[in-house]
Amino acid sequence: MARADLHERLREARALREAQQRVRVRRNVTRRDGARYEVDGRWRVGFCGNDYLGLAQQFGVVAALQDAAARDGVGSTASHLVCGHHAVHEALEREIAEWLEYPRGLLMGSGFLANLAVVQSLLGNDDICVQDRLNHASLIDAARLADCRLRRYPHADAEGALRQLRSVPDGAAMLATDGVFSMDGDIAPLRALMLAARMQQALVYVDDAHGVGVLGPSGRGSVAFSGLGPADVPLQLVTLGKALGGYGAVLVGDETVIGHLAETARPYVYSTAIPPAQAAASLAAVKIARREEWRRVKLRESIVRLRTSAAAHGLELLPSDTPIQPFVCGSEARALAYAQALDDAGYWVAAIRPPTVPEGGARLRITVSALHSPAEIDGLIDTLSRARDRLGDAPVAAPAA
């Protein structure tokens, strides 16, 4: 019996993606200036990045990175547990834990690594991890790699989460959810989920990649926005690469859980620590995000402006009060056509297609930043409206999760 030809399999997979219009192409940014990007020799206004507070190029953040690089170099040289843990890493962990009012923080290389670390380190094959069907791929992969029992409930359905928790009455249990869902922009019903978890003695873990910095008092995220705290949500993920404009992630929780992760989580133990200069930049960004409330005020005003303008033009966006404002197109072809029309007019909005979103749910994932001007927002919506009229079709409702 002959083995399968791996290259032939890859060629067939590529041909299928081409037929389904799901080929993904990288575009090279040659320069960036705030919300504007130079790509292929042309400047475009970007409405698809996650720099919600406009901190990625903020001069104080950039200066912190440059100063730390001049002092400490470009790399940490080792994992945190060998000789790669610098004072600035410790300072960043403390700052974020204090901001979110948790006892302790743990700096990770990325949000993806952090999710792998949490589930693999805390759960085993006798345990259960219950998750929202629209959770980020890293949470799904984490449960699969942990070899625990993965159960998924309908999107934002706390009663469904409770049923899934009850389906496996033995072993340890974790209820894991995004705080803000990255493709729909809605906020998880955290209070109801917390109550369901409490009834089943399950630990609640919230990946708040798109909530921290944006929602809640002082930008403390979806957990604080929901009126909850460490007693309700014992473990939380803060991504440094979204509203904070940098790279990496920090887990916050109590001493017992964070201490266990620091000593046992494979993505932490066996990864080189992020560069001290990057940690210094994120530390500066956190301090700015905490004190400059005007950034969140401007962001909220821009979200309202975009939604109001879209409604006035008869453009239906998914319900969302966050910077993520999806415009569902339905088919891949329609999403690509809308994205191309916007690109031709000088706006960069990526077409998001399955498997990132459900079948039939291809969309434009429009994201708003504090950097956007009213004129740029109005121009985007006007262009999208004209594209809709020219293409002769209307967006379809999102498929059920």
What does the pLDDT look like over 41-56, one tens digit per residue? 899 999 999 999 999 9
Q: What pLDDT is attached to residue 89?
A: 97
pLDDT band at residue 26 using 50, 70 and 90 as cut-offs: confident
Give domain status of residue 254, yes or no: yes
Give domain status of residue 398, yes or no: no
Q: Is 248 annotated as a binding residue?
A: no
Give domain status of residue 4, yes or no: no
Q: Is 111 annotated as a binding residue?
A: yes
Helix/strand/coil for 81: helix
Q: Is 112 annotated as a binding residue?
A: yes
| Per-residue exposure over 77-106, b if at least 16 CB sit within 10 Å of its own CB, e if not | eebbeeebbbebbeebbebbbebbebebbb
Q: What pLDDT is attached to residue 97?
A: 98
C-alpha to C-alpha distance for 178 and 319, rounded to whole angstroms: 17
**Mean pLDDT, residues 205-217 taken together:** 97
Helix/strand/coil for 173: strand
Q: In what order do the strands lie in the sheet with 173-178?
A: 104-108, 249-253, 235-239, 203-207, 173-178, 128-132, 149-153
Judgement on whether residues 240 and 301 belong to the same structural domain of the protein: no
Longest dimension (CA), the chain: 67
CATH of the domain at 209: 3.40.640.10
Q: Are 107 and 248 in contact (CB under 8 A)?
A: yes
pTM, 2 dp:
0.93
Give domain status of residue 90, yes or no: yes
Judgement on whether residues 106 and 43 belong to the same structural domain of the protein: no
Q: What pLDDT is attached to residue 169?
A: 86
β-strand partners of 36: 33, 45
Q: What is the count of structural domains for the chain? A: 2
Judgement on whether residues 123 and 249 belong to the same structural domain of the protein: yes
pLDDT band at residue 393 using 50, 70 and 90 as cut-offs: low
Judgement on whether residues 282 and 253 belong to the same structural domain of the protein: yes
Give domain status of residue 371, yes or no: yes
Q: With a cut of 90, say whether residue 400 has pLDDT above it.
A: no
Indicate left, alpha or beta for 360 from its phi (over 0: left) and psi (-120 to 50: alpha). Answer: left
Which of 291, 326, 354 terminates a domain? The answer is 291
C-alpha to C-alpha distance for 77 and 273, rounded to whole angstroms: 8
Judgement on whether residues 326 and 199 belong to the same structural domain of the protein: no
Give, for 65, the enclosing helix (H) or strand (E).
helix 59-72
The domain in which residue 154 lies consists of: 59-291
Judgement on whether residues 154 and 236 belong to the same structural domain of the protein: yes
Q: Is 356 annotated as a binding residue?
A: yes
Which of 275, 291, 307 terminates a domain? The answer is 291
pLDDT band at residue 40 using 50, 70 and 90 as cut-offs: confident
Q: Is 225 annotated as a binding residue?
A: no
Judgement on whether residues 121 and 257 belong to the same structural domain of the protein: yes
C-alpha to C-alpha distance for 173 and 203, rounded to whole angstroms: 6
Q: For residue 370, give the nearest of 240, 213, 226 by alpha carbon.
A: 213
How is residue 47 written in tokens?
Answer: 């409405």
Judgement on whether residues 154 and 208 belong to the same structural domain of the protein: yes
Helix axes 276-291, 59-72, angle to 10 degrees: 150
**Mean pLDDT, residues 296-300 taken together:** 98
Proportion of the chain above pLDDT 70, given as a percent: 98
Judgement on whether residues 385 and 305 belong to the same structural domain of the protein: yes
Give domain status of residue 348, yes or no: yes
Judgement on whether residues 251 and 337 belong to the same structural domain of the protein: no
Which of 241, 269, 291 terminates a domain? The answer is 291
Q: For residue 168, give the nearest of 203, 128, 120 by alpha carbon.
A: 128
Judgement on whether residues 373 and 342 belong to the same structural domain of the protein: yes
C-alpha to C-alpha distance for 376 and 37, rounded to whole angstroms: 13
Q: With a cut of 80, say whether residue 396 has pLDDT above it.
A: no
Give domain status of residue 82, yes or no: yes
Give, for 209, the enclosing helix (H) or strand (E).
none
CATH of the domain at 366: 3.90.1150.10
Q: Is 59 annotated as a binding residue?
A: no
Helix axes 111-122, 255-264, angle to 10 degrees: 100
Judgement on whether residues 253 and 350 belong to the same structural domain of the protein: no
Helix axes 158-167, 190-199, angle to 10 degrees: 20
Give, for 104, the enclosing helix (H) or strand (E).
strand 104-108
Q: Is 239 annotated as a binding residue?
A: yes
**Mean pLDDT, residues 93-105 taken together:** 98
C-alpha to C-alpha distance for 2 and 304, rounded to whole angstroms: 60
Name the H helices within 230-292. 255-264, 266-269, 276-291
Give domain status of residue 159, yes or no: yes
Task: Look at 401 and 288; give whichever has higher pLDDT.
Answer: 288
